[in-house]
Amino acid sequence: MSSPQDDLSELFSKVGFEDKKAKEIAKNKKVASLLQTILSKSDATSYDDEKKLALLHQLAVAENKQGKEVPHVELLINAINKGDIRTTVQLSEGVKFLNAREGQSAPEQVDFDEATGVGINVSEEEAKDLISKYLDTIKEEVESKRYSILPKVMSDVKAQPVLKWAPPNLFKPILDSLFLERIGPKDERDAKKKEKKKSKSSEIETENGIGKENAGKKKSGASANNTGKEEKDDEKEERSMFSEGFLGDLHKPGEEPQMYPELLKEHNEFIKGQVYTRFPPEPNGFLHIGHSKAIMVNFGYAQFNNGKCYLRFDDTNPEAEEEVYFNSIKEMVSWLGFKPWKVTYSSDYFDELYEFAIQLIKLDKAYICHCTAEEVKLSRGQKEDGTLGGERFACKHRSQDIEHNLKEFENMKLGKYAVGEATLRMKQDLNSPSPQMWDLVAYRVLNKPHHRTGSKWKIYPTYDFTHCLVDSMENITHSLCTTEFILSRESYEWLCDALRVYRPAQREYGRLNLTGTIMSKRKIAKLVNEGHVRGWDDPRLYTLEGIKRRGVPPGAILSFINTLGVTTNATNIQTTRFESAVRSYLDQSTPRLFLVLNPVEVHIDNLDDSFELEVEIPYKPGVDVNKLGNRRMVFRNKIYIDRGDVIDTPADKEFYRLAPGQPVGLMRVPFNISFKSLEHRDGKTIVHVNYDEIKEGKPKKPKTYIQWVPVNDCIHVKEVRIYNQLFKSENPGAHPDGYLADLAEESESVLLNAVIESNFSEIVDKSPMNLEIPNSQFNIKELEGPNTIRFQALREGYFCVDKDSKGVGENELILNRIVTLKEDANK
Ligand SMILES: *[C@@H]1O[C@H](CO)[C@@H](O)[C@H](O)[C@H]1NC(C)=O
Ligand SMILES: *[C@@H]1O[C@H](CO)[C@@H](O)[C@H](O)[C@H]1NC(C)=O
Ligand SMILES: *[C@@H]1O[C@H](CO)[C@@H](O)[C@H](O)[C@H]1NC(C)=O
Ligand SMILES: *[C@@H]1O[C@H](CO)[C@@H](O)[C@H](O)[C@H]1NC(C)=O
Ligand SMILES: *[C@@H]1O[C@H](CO)[C@@H](O)[C@H](O)[C@H]1NC(C)=O
Ligand SMILES: CC(=O)N[C@H]1CO[C@H](CO)[C@@H](O)[C@@H]1O
């Protein structure tokens, strides 16, 4: 017995369909019967070309969809058989053409051929050429919408008069390569838009037609060819300050607004769509926490966009520069996990800058001024009380002729003027409301040797003259700085435009401001020089050196800043909030150890000297992504516990630890110890206890567990330095008697008796452990250093080794407390 369905399936197999396919088609009765009719009209009795079969099947699907047969369908069948119709586009055009002739006589073959593109061969080059021309017409849209319009462009291109006859598999590779050429690789701008599309694209799973009737319902006709596919690649993007807020909204590289747009051409050829940023510190001090945001914004933004970031030392003031600052800055950048594309110096460009100055004079846009500082202030409208707003006027030097200015500039260069006797000033706009436009100084005499250019120069360019021009020469696309520089933007642009050079886009974001501390170099210097702190890297300071020494992991700083995001507003953050971010980072990334800060010896009287109980303790209980494993400790009859964990009077409700009548648990030891007595012997205190071993039944749990360390197997720590806030108030600078009066009395206390379990040395050996925080973008590999030996001391806080340690052995070790375990622990 065979059903009609089986019969059809057999027929389709005979014609050439694969058995499986044949069965599948036969299941859809309507399509199968239409296909049967189509086959009956064909000259061919069997096919060895799968593509032809697929087209015939598609034809049946199309008929089914429109609910009627295609008139004069023989023309189509014939064309398929002859290989004249090879693509689904041709097929659907043919269907359209024939449908329009319903009830008329059969069309002429030539008309049919023309309508279906028979005989039109489009080579790859031709296709590329045509597509490229088409993209030119929608250039702006491509640049603004980027890859999100790729699917639309794809279908538009396929509908183009000639292009539509091209083999469909040509389009994707051609479009991909043209998009890459024109707008660069995909970046976060594309990721954002993609997310919204995801659900849609998953519906359009069509490959090339066969058996996918459903595809036809979603996409019109038979023109389905995988367009939505590439949208599934890079699926989810983490929340990131680089793709949201201020940074997310920045212009694309190559779109820097210009006074002279023709300058952009060469620039764009050079940058090739990449982001170029720079981090430009002056090498005259140590970096602080605020700089870490600048570092992250500049290096991170470039990195996020596969661009490049310079570390550029802005060394135009030889008076304040010292080797130690250069080294420290380099080290801090690398500690934060960034690698400069190039390290450059503003002084690398002194020759070019000098030429620019000459050019500016020749353009009559700069002049030599011999005014005293007082006279300059006056002409800039500064009143006696120091405020601006008085009348502004041009000084007599402003109208000197070009020749004179050139000669005088030469004289400046030759050292004929002493410091303060002559400056080169830009001839800007005294009528502008912005003080940055009131003839800023471009060059001044500083008769000092420079550590890089030696005694070559007696004149040095100012920040205002140097910064924008070096940005321009280095082809910076995003000159990112803090909002303090908003007014400078005008002079920045003025100078680039005056010299007709490429004008980078300066954009300003809000800086990070920690409250409860001070950042000013001068103020920190005073703390250091007067001995209030241990140096520039004192762990209580928010210099990056200090934060590093204190044991804060660089990844904690970056995740903190990332969480805050970047806006144009300054971010004022309390130091306690920073600490809490550090705490949660450390919680996930440190092993846990037993440290007893104020030890007291405990003798367990009912255990004899031979008693040994080995206990196994995980370095990090619970989910341990880093698989830190366990260590073993031996519990014997003499241990240390913290003096604060025992009292010799009955406990009140609040006291959960060891007291007469109140046993306590020792972490990971099976049974309680219970208080017997407190003995004072030779100036030493000994706590006598019993070990309450229970032979039967389940022991009742103690109220709490405390950490302990074996007396005969531990390391005596030389110093543990406990840090608290350096200042009493949230705004030390506002103290009426100056910030020094706001110093807290006990911002550092040193404990001299602490003991730590001996297995600490295993942590030392394995450091830097570089433990990973799952799903974090900020798992930064640190290089060896005492600050990377970090751990959580159970019940006490997070600690690291201080650089003052002579070693990590007995009585050598110095520990820093990084942060407490809980926010209010020291209140
Ligand atoms: C089109 O190209 C095919 C092979 O790709 C060739 O067989 C055919 O002759 C060409 N037709 C025309 C009109 O050039
Ligand atoms: C900046 O781009 C120009 C081309 O516009 C190029 O000649 C120059 O070498 C680039 N500068 C640097 C420092 O790479
Ligand atoms: C930074 O914080 C201090 C308080 O510590 C405050 O006086 C100052 O105005 C803040 N700066 C900015 C730019 O908000
Ligand atoms: C920036 O600060 C102003 C007031 O100081 C406030 O009105 C505005 O909402 C802030 N903007 C953002 C993005 O936080
Ligand atoms: C352990 O100590 C608690 C008090 O902290 C006590 O209630 C409990 O009974 C003790 N358990 C044993 C088995 O002694
Ligand atoms: C120095 C030290 O005590 N290391 C030990 C730490 O713990 C592991 C596991 O228990 C031992 O194998 C080490 O010897």
Q: What is the rounded CA–CA span in Å between residue 816 and residue 799? A: 5
Q: Are 403 and 540 within one domain?
A: no
CATH code of the domain covering residue 639: 2.40.240.10
511 is catalytic: yes
CA 39 to centroid of chain Cα atoms: 61
Does residue 203 have a pLDDT over 60?
no
17 found inside a domain = yes
Q: Are 607 and 681 within one domain?
A: yes
817 is catalytic: no
CATH code of the domain covering residue 90: 1.10.8.1290
Does residue 306 have a pLDDT over 70?
yes
The residue among 116, 145, 169 that closes a domain is 116
Number of domains the chain is built from = 5
Q: Are 685 and 649 within one domain?
A: yes
The residue among 116, 140, 155 that closes a domain is 116
Atom of ligand 5 nearest to the CA of 664: 5
Does residue 237 have a pLDDT over 70?
no
Residue 780 has what DSSP assignment? P
Mean pLDDT of 171-194: 74
Per-residue pLDDT of 530-585, as tens digits, reads 999 999 999 999 999 999 999 999 999 999 999 999 999 899 999 999 999 999 99
Does residue 14 have a pLDDT over 70?
yes
Pocket test for ligand 6, best of 614, 619, 620, 632 (most atoms within 8 A of CB): 632
Ligand 5 shell residues, CB under 6 Å: 662-664, 672, 692, 694, 699-700, 702-703
Q: What is the rounded CA–CA span in Å between residue 370 and residue 815? A: 58
pLDDT tier at 192, thresholds 50, 70, 90: low
Residue 1: the pLDDT is: 56
Token representation of residue 422: 């002559």
pLDDT tier at 191, thresholds 50, 70, 90: low
Q: Which residues, including other chains, have CB under 8 Å from residue 411's CB and lie 6 or more apart?
A: 417, 422
332 found inside a domain = no
Q: Is 36 in the pocket of ligand 3 (CB under 6 A)?
A: no
Lowest mean pLDDT among 108-112, 176-180, 769-773: 176-180
Mean pLDDT of 190-200: 47
- Separation of 328 CA from ligand 2 center, angstroms? 29
Mean pLDDT of 282-304: 96
CATH code of the domain covering residue 452: 3.90.800.10
Of residues 522 and 225, the one with the higher pLDDT is 522
Q: Are 599 and 576 within one domain?
A: no
Q: Are 26 and 51 within one domain?
A: yes
292 found inside a domain = no
Atom of ligand 4 nearest to the CA of 510: 1
Q: What is the rounded CA–CA span in Å between residue 315 and residue 296? A: 21
Per-residue pLDDT of 251-284, as tens digits, reads 999 999 999 999 999 999 999 999 999 999 999 9
Mean pLDDT of 709-716: 97
Does residue 5 have a pLDDT over 90?
no
Which DSSP string do the residues of 650-703 spell out, in sequence order? ---TT--SBBTTB-EEETT-SSEEEEEEEEEETTEEEEEEEE---SSSPPPPPS
The boundaries of the domain holding residue 131 are: 124-183
The residue among 673, 707, 741 that closes a domain is 707
210 found inside a domain = no
443 found inside a domain = yes
Print burial letters for 255-273: b (CB count within 10 Å at least 16), e (below 16). Answer: ebebeeeebbeebbeebeb
Ligand nearest to the CA of 290: 3
Mean pLDDT of 614-629: 87
285 found inside a domain = no
194 found inside a domain = no
Measuring CA to CA, which residue among 715, 651, 658, 714 is closest to residue 691?
A: 658
Residue 549: the pLDDT is: 98
Q: Is 483 in the pocket of ligand 4 (CB under 6 A)?
A: no
Ligand nearest to the CA of 271: 2
Atom of ligand 3 nearest to the CA of 518: 5
CA dihedral sign, ordered 430, 434, 435, 441: negative
Q: Are 458 and 357 within one domain?
A: yes
Atom of ligand 5 nearest to the CA of 656: 5
Q: Are 587 and 725 within one domain?
A: yes
Q: Is 685 in the pocket of ligand 4 (CB under 6 A)?
A: no
Per-residue pLDDT of 449-462, as tens digits, reads 999 999 999 999 99
Q: Is 572 in the pocket of ligand 4 (CB under 6 A)?
A: no
Which DSSP string do the residues of 369-397 spell out, in sequence order? E---HHHHHHHTT--TTS-S-S-----GG
**Kind and range of the H or E run holding 351:** helix 350-362
CATH code of the domain covering residue 153: 1.10.10.2420
Q: Are 737 and 771 within one domain?
A: yes
83 found inside a domain = yes
Q: Are 540 and 606 within one domain?
A: no
Q: Is 631 in the pocket of ligand 6 (CB under 6 A)?
A: yes
Q: Are 558 and 660 within one domain?
A: no
> Which SS3 state, helix, strand or coil, does residue 160 take?
coil
Q: Are 97 and 130 within one domain?
A: no
Does residue 217 have a pLDDT over 60?
no
- Separation of 569 CA from ligand 4 center, angstroms? 6
Per-residue pLDDT of 102-141, as tens digits, reads 888 889 999 999 899 898 888 888 888 899 989 988 888 8
Ligand nearest to the CA of 86: 1
CA dihedral sign, ordered 208, 213, 217, 221: positive
Q: Are 353 and 454 within one domain?
A: yes
